[in-house]
Every structure is written in structure tokens, then in C-alpha cells.
A and B are shown apart, each in its own frame.
Chain A
């Protein structure tokens, strides 16, 4: 009994910060969703562009800019990262995974030159930040994040409902058909990568505030967290709705669940490094099971046909 009360009070106490971190990484996962689910590209730029977002945000802020301006600049920087990957892929014909890795590698250097290996906000600066983990401001932080999540989802809903947005969806779905219908699929892919990495860098700009500082390693494994949030979120929501907004909300939920699991791991004193393998395993299971089901299902169907004949 005592164990449970301790457990639940622990979870209750950390709920606002689980929500906050979940939403921050959930926004990043929405960026991953755009490339992975809409464009059908596994984009590894994100491990770098999330750090670039963080670096640009803190450097801009510490040079005296308003935090909103710093966040905006971070987002633009992320879009630029996406542009580089997009051009490496479409203009130079480099496979998208490799293009992402090349950009990610270069961003390591860029980030080091921008912000060194680590940077912290001072105690006084914290007052002007939007999202902070301090107990007395965590409620406010959650509200700000809910607002940002809503804006990101609303903008994407609008965009993918436009002619241009539809051309991106078609490109990811069937590039042959898209070209036959006059869609410049190279442009569509570049644009998708630009938008995706802009969102990823936005989440980096939020993360740097929440972590009270920047570290060159803060993006390591981001793609895995993003993909985990995407597949877990989809698994939850797909039973209820296939609409675009529910799917995006599912991705945010996926991010929150990820941090819930993370807190559990901490609570049970499990080696936190195990989490990386766990995330990878989750992705493998969630992507592999539907595939196997499909294959197994097909075989079964064939057998049935045979017995009928």
C-alpha cells in the first residue's frame, strides 16, 4: 500500500513536467511525422536541427533579443537545415537517409561554432523565458505549450488542406502519379523537409528553455524519440479516428507517454540508458507487427482461396 501511495504521489507530482516535456518532444515528433508519414522519408537531419534550434534560440536570446524573436529565428534556422537536406537529396540525387546524415554531421560543427559545447541561462534570464521547469511556473509552462501545440496543429491542418499541401501528400503517397499530374515532386520533398525541420527546431528552442541551457549532445537520439512518439500515438488514435487533427494529437500523446515511461524508469531506479534500447524496440515492434500481420493475413487469404477452389 505504502508503495502505491508513494508511487502515485510521485507520478502526481511529476505530472506537469511529464506533460511539458511530452509536449515539447511531441512537437518535435510532429516534425518527424511530416517526413516519415506524409513524405515517406526517414529524415535523420532532426538529431542536428533540434540542437541548432536550441543553439540559435539561446544565442539570440543572450544577445538581447526577445524570447519570441529568438524562437522564430530558431525555427527559421531549422528550415534552412531542412533545405540543405532537401537539396542534397533532390538536386544531387543523394538517398534521403544519407542526405540527412550528412546534414546532421555538418550541423554538429555548425552548432559548436554557434554556441560551443554548452551554454546556460542565468538565474535572471529565466524570468523572461516562456517554458521553465520551476515548480511555481510549471502550470504556466504547460499552458503556453498547449497553446503552441494548438497553433502548430492548426497551421498544419490548414496547410495540408491547401492545393500545395495536397501536392506534398500526393508526392509521399505516389510520386509517379504526382509527376503525371504535374506536381514537382522534388520541390514538394524539399518543402516538406523545410517545414518538418522548422518544427523540429522550434521544439529545440523550447527544449533549451526547459533544460535551462544548451548542450551539444542534447539532440542525440531525437529521431528515435520522435519515431516512438509517432508510432505509439498512431496506435492509440487509429482505433478512434483517421482524421488529420486526431492523428497529430495522437503524436503529442505519444510524446507524453514517452516521458511517462521515462519517469517510471527513473522511479524504479532502472538504468536510464536502457530507455534508448526500449524506444528502439518499441519502434521495431510497432512498425514490424502491422507488417507481419499483413503478410500473415495475406497467406491466410490465399489458403482460403485454395480451399474454396
Chain B
């Protein structure tokens, strides 16, 4: 290649006309940077969600009265246990607790620590907790957001909850949950199940909902049908429903961005197209002159193709590389607000680096194909006309 006059001339042209390319590279870089950042963030979030949801139970049974969720009687559990193919039937107690100001609410989750199944989903989070010590008194584990809120409102050691029956319940802050769990546990308060029942004013025969697993996928629809007919005000939610709801939310946000980018890219491509097809542009003279000096249409297209590819590749490597740093090293300041905002508290989640060939190649295609055509089509149009422009 070093000994090829063509590549010699190509690199020569590229570097001597770098000013001409700089602007295009700069704009491409910004577009590619934003595009890849958004794709990186959304794929990373999707990955985390999938990981999290994998630990969730397959089915949740709730009770609805007058359109509102009410507590479920524990006797339902016994009836569930009779159904063939169902395992890990677990009662859960949880709910939103609104703080004084009413604008903040946190999720209180009651866990039956005597039951292995019950805290399976939270196991990773709870790994480092000394359960014996935790269960001795009225203690709670809180997520990063809760801890932050309590501290800033001068409750660094605990909080006194007000139950619906008008009683006060003082609970100690036992431990703050690790940062890694923030995507799900940021605004969570974990307490023993009896304590949760007390805070929500439930008696011992009442729980918020019941969960269970159905290990055989083929049984899912069947089981769902059977349980729905149990009781007139019973509602069943499957893991797939939750997954879809989450995905819709993030796809929606990601989709808006993608549309914005497509619009930006289309505009940019139109500008490029204009620039290359301008009637009296220097590009036109340039091409005419090369043709007059004995270059064939193919020779001209080859030069312009490689020249454009160099621009594309430089911008691609820089843009994607910077996006990677921005998202996975710096944690995507600003953009993350848009994706994760809307959650009750400022989320402090870590974006796990997820890079796959699919994302990288779609970024390349979304950008490179329109770009290269925006240059080559007008170049080709000019090149096929007789090169007498050079004489003028």
C-alpha cells in the first residue's frame, strides 16, 4: 500500500484538505457521540433490568376492590399450594409510605426472614447483613436514596412511623444498602414482615400480595387461567407483564432519542448532499479537472469513496470511544437524568458496560450508509457529465 500512488495521493489529499474535513468530522462526532451514548445507556439499563427481573417471582396475586388494591388474606396461600405445578408460594407485605412533607414516598418491603424463599430475590442485597442482630429489635435496611433523605431531614439514626391506626412506631436505621442495588432498591426500606404489617396497620392474617413460581413455562397460561377464577376480586400479574411495562418505558425514551437523531442525520446528510452537488462548487471543478487529466469515473468514485470512508471511520472511532468514556467511566451525567429521572429520588445507579456487536454495527450503519451515499451520489452525477468544466 505504501508503494501505491493511489493511496499516496489519497492520504495527501486527506491531510492537505483536513480543514475541509474537520467541520464534517466535528459534526459527525457530536451526532455519533450522542447516538452511541443513548444506545449505550438504554442497552445497559435493559441489561440491568433483565438481571433484576430474573430474580423476581413468576407470578404475583393481588386483590382489587373498587379499583383499589387491598390486602390479601393469607388463607389464599393454602388454596394456591393445592394447584399442581406451583412452587415457592410466598406472602409479601409492602407499600408506599408517605413522609410528612407528602411529596416524598418510599417503598417499605416486609421480609419473612424465617422463610428462605421470601428473601431470595433480595438475597444479593442482604448478603452482608447480620440477620441475628437485625431481627433483635425494630430495625430497617434502607436504599441510598432513603438514607440521603433521612439524613438531610435530621433522622440519621432512624425514623418514627405513623400507622393508619394513629400509633407511633420507632424504627432504627440498621444499615444502608450497597450502591450496586440502587436501580431497584434506591428508594426501598426493608423491614421484617411483622413490622411492615404493623406500619401499614394490617393484622397477621393479611398480606399485600402473594407470589409464586411456575417452573414449567408451558404451564404458565394454564395456571394463570385457573387462579383468575379463584375469586372475583383477584388479579394475577406475570413477570412478563412487568418486563413489558419496563421495556415499553425505556424503549419509549430511547425511541424519542432515535427519532431526534434520525432527523439530525437526515438534515446533515441533506447539507452534505447540497454541498457536493452545488453547481459551481469547487468540488465540481475538482472532479472535472481530475476527469480532464485522464481519470475515469471509477477512479474518481474510488478516490471519493476512500476519502469519505476515512472521514467516517475517524469520526466513528472518536465518537463511539468518547461515548464509551462518557457513559461507562463518567456515568453519563445529564443524559442519565433523562433516562432514570422520574423515579422518586435521584438515582445513583452504576451503568454496567454492555457492548455488543449489534449496537456497534447499527451505529455504524445508521451513520455511514446515508453519509457515504450523500457524498457519492452527487459525485457520481458530476463525474458522469463531460469534464469540460475544467476548461472554463
Same complex origin of A and B: no
A residues in contact (CB < 8 Å) with B: none
Which B residues have a C-beta under 8 Å from some C-beta of A?
none
